[in-house]
Chains A and B, each alone.
Chain A
Amino acid sequence: MNQKTGLLLYIAIAAFIGIVIFPFLWILLASLKAPLYLYGEYAFSIKVPEYTLQNYISVFTNHPFGRYLLNSFTVGVLTMFLSISIAAFASYAVARLYFFGKTFFLGILLAVSMLPQIATLSPLFLFMQSIGLRNTYAGLVIPYTTYALPIAIWYMTTFFKQIPVELEEAAKVDGASLLGIFGRVLLPLVSPGLFTTAIIVFVDAWHEFLFALTINTKQSMMTVPVGIAMFQGEFTFPWGEISAATVTVTVPVVLLVLLFQRRIIAGLTSGAVKQ
Chain B
Amino acid sequence: MPLKKKSKWKEGRAAYAMILPAVLIIAAVALWPLLRSFWISLFDLRLGDPTRNAIHYSYSMNVEQYADRFPGLLRAVKREAGNAGGGALSVLSAVEKKLDEVGGGLEDDRAFQERLTKVNGLLDAFSPVPQELRFIPVDNAKAERLKAELQEIRKELAGLKAAGSLERPDEVIGLTNAVLDTFQAPNFVGLSHYKDLMSGRRLWESLGNTMLFTVFAVALEMLLGLLIALLMNRTFRGRGLVRAAVLIPWATPTAVSAMIWHYLYDGQNGIVAKLLYEAGLISDMGTLLSSGSRVMGSVIMADVWKTAPFVALLLLAGLQNIPASLYEAAWVDGGGRWKQFLHVTVPLLKPAFFVALMFRTLDAFRVFDLIYVLTGGGPANSTESISIYAYKTMFSELDFGKGSALSVIVFVCVLLISMVYVKWLGADVVGRRAS
Give the contact stretch, choosing among A59-67, A118-126, A186-194: A118-126
Those of B8-67 within 8 Å (CB) of chain A: 8, 11-12, 14-16, 18-19, 21-23, 25-26, 29-34, 36-37, 40
Give me 29 A-to-B residue pairs in the complex whose CB atoms sit less than 8 angstroms apart, sorted by A's number: A9-B236, A16-B231, A20-B245, A21-B245, A21-B248, A30-B263, A90-B22, A105-B19, A106-B434, A106-B435, A110-B434, A114-B414, A118-B390, A118-B410, A119-B34, A122-B33, A123-B404, A124-B33, A142-B25, A209-B253, A209-B255, A209-B369, A249-B256, A253-B251, A253-B252, A273-B356, A273-B358, A275-B310, A275-B359
Question: Which one of B245, B368, B414, B418 contacts A17 once the chains associate, using CB atoms below 8 Å?
Answer: B245
From residue B306, how far is it (CB to closest CB) to chain A in Å?
9
Contacts of A106 in B (CB 8 A): 434-435
Contacts of A126 in B (CB 8 A): 40, 400
The number of chain A residues touching the other chain, given as a range, is: 35 or more
From residue A20, how far is it (CB to closest CB) to chain B in Å?
5
Give the contact stretch, choosing among B96-104, B176-184, B267-275, B338-346: B267-275
A239 in contact (CB, < 8 A): yes
| A150 to B21 Cα, complex, angstroms | 13
Question: Which one of B25, B256, B262 contacts A149 once the chains associate, using CB atoms below 8 Å?
Answer: B25
A112 in contact (CB, < 8 A): yes
> Given the interface contacts A23-B261, A105-B19, A146-B26, does A275 sit within 8 Å of B307 by beta carbon?
yes
B195 in contact (CB, < 8 A): no
From residue A141, how far is it (CB to closest CB) to chain B in Å?
11
Q: Mask for A250-275, Cβ within 8 A of B = 1, else 0?
A: 10011011100100110011101111
> Given the interface contacts A23-B261, A90-B22, A97-B18, does A257 sit within 8 Å of B255 by beta carbon?
no
User: In the bound complex, do residue A272 and residue B433 qualify as a contact, i.e. CB atoms below 8 Å apart?
Assistant: yes
From residue B374, how far is it (CB to closest CB) to chain A in Å?
10
A136 in contact (CB, < 8 A): no
User: In the bound complex, do residue B404 and residue A207 qualify as a contact, i.e. CB atoms below 8 Å apart?
Assistant: no
From residue A109, how far is it (CB to closest CB) to chain B in Å?
7
A163 in contact (CB, < 8 A): no
From residue B378, how far is it (CB to closest CB) to chain A in Å?
13
Q: Mask for A11-49, Cβ within 8 A of B = 1, else 0?
A: 011001101110110110010000000110001100000
A74 in contact (CB, < 8 A): no
| A137 to B258 Cα, complex, angstroms | 25
User: In the bound complex, do residue A122 and residue B407 qualify as a contact, i.e. CB atoms below 8 Å apart?
Assistant: yes
| A214 to B391 Cα, complex, angstroms | 9
B206 in contact (CB, < 8 A): no
User: In the bound complex, do residue B372 and residue A229 qualify as a contact, i.e. CB atoms below 8 Å apart?
Assistant: yes
B204 in contact (CB, < 8 A): no
Smallest Cβ-Cβ distance to A255: which chain B residue: B251
Smallest Cβ-Cβ distance to B401: which chain A residue: A122
User: In the bound complex, do residue A120 and residue B256 qualify as a contact, i.e. CB atoms below 8 Å apart?
Assistant: no
User: In the bound complex, do residue B314 and residue A269 qualify as a contact, i.e. CB atoms below 8 Å apart?
Assistant: yes
Candidate in A26, A109, A110, A115 with the most chain B CB atoms within 10 angstroms: A115
> Given the interface contacts A126-B400, A146-B26, does A250 sit within 8 Å of B395 by beta carbon?
no
> Given the interface contacts A273-B314, A273-B433, does A119 sit within 8 Å of B407 by beta carbon?
yes
Contacts of B254 in A (CB 8 A): 207, 209, 225
| A150 to B250 Cα, complex, angstroms | 19
User: In the bound complex, do residue A90 and residue B18 qualify as a contact, i.e. CB atoms below 8 Å apart?
Assistant: yes
- Chain B positions near chain A (C-beta within 8 angstroms): 8, 11-12, 14-16, 18-19, 21-23, 25-26, 29-34, 36-37, 40, 228, 231, 234, 236, 238, 241-264, 266, 268-269, 271, 274, 305, 307, 309-310, 313-314, 316-317, 352, 355-356, 358-359, 362-363, 365-366, 368-369, 372-373, 387, 390-391, 394-395, 400, 403-404, 407-408, 410-411, 414, 418, 430, 433-435
Question: Which one of B15, B22, B362 contacts A97 once the chains associate, using CB atoms below 8 Å?
Answer: B15
User: In the bound complex, do residue B33 and residue A123 qualify as a contact, i.e. CB atoms below 8 Å apart?
Assistant: yes
From residue B207, how far is it (CB to closest CB) to chain A in Å?
14
User: In the bound complex, do residue B313 and residue A265 qualify as a contact, i.e. CB atoms below 8 Å apart?
Assistant: yes
| A115 to B245 Cα, complex, angstroms | 30
A235 in contact (CB, < 8 A): no
Contacts of B245 in A (CB 8 A): 17, 20-21
Smallest Cβ-Cβ distance to A227: which chain B residue: B255
Contacts of A44 in B (CB 8 A): 269, 271, 274
Question: Which one of A20, A43, A105, A207 contacts B268 once the chains associate, using CB atoms below 8 Å?
Answer: A43
Contacts of A272 in B (CB 8 A): 359, 433
A170 in contact (CB, < 8 A): no
Candidate in B21, B261, B400, B435 with the most chain A CB atoms within 10 angstroms: B435
User: In the bound complex, do residue A116 and residue B407 qualify as a contact, i.e. CB atoms below 8 Å apart?
Assistant: yes
User: In the bound complex, do residue B256 and residue A250 qualify as a contact, i.e. CB atoms below 8 Å apart?
Assistant: yes
Contacts of A239 in B (CB 8 A): 263, 266, 269
> Given the interface contacts A44-B274, A274-B359, does A250 sit within 8 Å of B430 by beta carbon?
no
| A23 to B22 Cα, complex, angstroms | 40
User: In the bound complex, do residue B15 and residue A99 qualify as a contact, i.e. CB atoms below 8 Å apart?
Assistant: yes
User: In the bound complex, do residue A246 and residue B256 qualify as a contact, i.e. CB atoms below 8 Å apart?
Assistant: yes
Contacts of A147 in B (CB 8 A): 30
User: In the bound complex, do residue A224 and residue B253 qualify as a contact, i.e. CB atoms below 8 Å apart?
Assistant: yes
From residue A139, how far is it (CB to closest CB) to chain B in Å?
11
User: In the bound complex, do residue B29 and residue A124 qualify as a contact, i.e. CB atoms below 8 Å apart?
Assistant: yes
> Given the interface contacts A98-B8, A242-B263, A273-B356, does A38 sit within 8 Å of B269 by beta carbon?
yes
Candidate in A10, A23, A178 with the most chain B CB atoms within 10 angstroms: A23
Question: Which one of A27, A43, A229, A274 contacts B373 once the chains associate, using CB atoms below 8 Å?
Answer: A229
| A1 to B242 Cα, complex, angstroms | 19
Smallest Cβ-Cβ distance to A113: which chain B residue: B359
Question: Which one of B231, B362, B395 contacts A13 once the chains associate, using CB atoms below 8 Å?
Answer: B231
| A19 to B272 Cα, complex, angstroms | 11
| A269 to B387 Cα, complex, angstroms | 28
> Given the interface contacts A122-B40, A257-B251, does A142 sit within 8 Å of B313 by beta carbon?
no
User: In the bound complex, do residue A146 and residue B15 qualify as a contact, i.e. CB atoms below 8 Å apart?
Assistant: no
Contacts of A242 in B (CB 8 A): 259, 263
Smallest Cβ-Cβ distance to A146: which chain B residue: B29
> Given the interface contacts A20-B245, A27-B260, A118-B390, does A9 sit within 8 Å of B231 by beta carbon?
yes
Contacts of A115 in B (CB 8 A): 30, 34, 411, 414
Contacts of B373 in A (CB 8 A): 229
User: In the bound complex, do residue B251 and residue A203 qualify as a contact, i.e. CB atoms below 8 Å apart?
Assistant: yes
